[in-house]
Amino acid sequence: MNIAELFVDVQLAGRPETEAASRRFNVPIRTVASAQEVYASVAAAEDPIGRGKHVLYLTRNRGAFIKSCPGTRHYTCCGYKILHIGTFCSMDCSYCILQSYFHPPVLQYFMNQDEMDQELGQLFATQLIHRVGTGEFTDSLIWEPWTGLSARLIRTFSGQNGCVLELKTKTAWIDPLLDLPHRRRTILAWSLNTDEVIRTEERGTTSLDERLKAAARGAAHGYPLAFHFDPIVITNGCEGDYRRTVERLFAAVDPRHIVWISLGALRFMPELKAVIQRRFKRSRIVYGEFIGGLDGKMRYFKPLRMKAYREIANAIREYAPEVCIYLCMEDDEVWEHALGFHPAQRGGLARMLDDAAIRQCHLTAQAAEGLR
């Protein structure tokens, strides 16, 4: 993180944990009574979104820390739980929905983690399978160099038997996590794409090779892994590029370490198009063959999505026929055409992923029985 301004919620000023976090950055500190003061500072910039990536706001999460993934009834959802640790990202991907999700976006980090711990304790007490991730509203690991939050969460999850934590990232910042006693209750996950998409659309992220090398290090230290081909950017000949990405994945990682791999085509709310055109003038991704989906998002025409999914899934199965592959936010027709089945035939998508977590993350029989 390259922080230029640091704001602190007045309700947190003077607390030891706030003071410790503030000392990490040699920048001016302003105490504010409301988030609007932070947003006003950012909104005045020529590029508020870009400016927001250099502004950090230490505040409280005034809502729930654990939330259900915001799926839609029109497409199959996986039943994921979001652990809401903070918002926005210091990397700068052209397609990132967070550019239009927060108005304007700034880096927010939630300091009231005693409440987070209470919610996690309640979740663990259910003795049921839960898949939990911190990468919905931010990248899971951008905070790690100065907070140690992921390391603390890994230790927390290692002490229970029914939940798995997924840390999804485009960084390679995992070395401080490698020697922790994780008990396979944490999955290290990477978003993958082709070299061309990473180079042109994912500013400030690590390269494909760096991500794969980090994944190999994680596997060598016993961590289960996951990979997300999302967003798949469909262009002429893209299937060959994604096949080469799959080949490089399995040249670096033994499939026995992988819990699941997801596939999801580029989709975005219509208002994001103008943001991408303004901030990423050389990007061509919004000029593909799109149509409005049932969820209001712009999506590639269904035949294009099905073809891309089928080609990529077939490439994965050549190397890893037993690995759980799933589609993100697609309907049964797309599943059938791309993967040869739809989730209901295997107990539902949530059940598929829970079973994969049970197998790979060594959840106990008691917790697994609760799933039945």
Domains in the chain: boundaries: 60-371
Average pLDDT over residues 78-101: 92
Q: Could you tell me what percent of the chain has a pLDDT over 90?
A: 83
What is the 3 state secondary structure string of 201-246? Answer: HEECCCCHHHHHHHHHHHHHCCCCEEEEEEEECCCCCHHHHHHHHH
pLDDT of residue 3: 94
Give the span between the Cα atoms of 341 and 307, in whole angstroms. Answer: 15
What is the 3 state secondary structure string of 47-76? Answer: CHHHHHCCEEEEECCCCCCEEECCCCCCCC
pLDDT digits (tens, 9 = 90+) for 168-209: 999 999 999 999 999 999 999 999 999 999 999 999 999 999
> Residue 95 contacts by C-beta under 8 Å, 6 or more apart in sequence?
201, 231, 266, 268, 272, 276, 285
Return the DSSP state at 33.
S
> Residue 128 contacts by C-beta under 8 Å, 6 or more apart in sequence?
162, 367, 370, 371
Q: Is pLDDT of 324 > 50?
A: yes
Q: Is pLDDT of 367 > 70?
A: no
pLDDT digits (tens, 9 = 90+) for 158-168: 999 999 999 99
Average pLDDT over residues 290-306: 93
CATH fold for domain 60-371: pyruvate-formate lyase- activating enzyme (3.80.30)
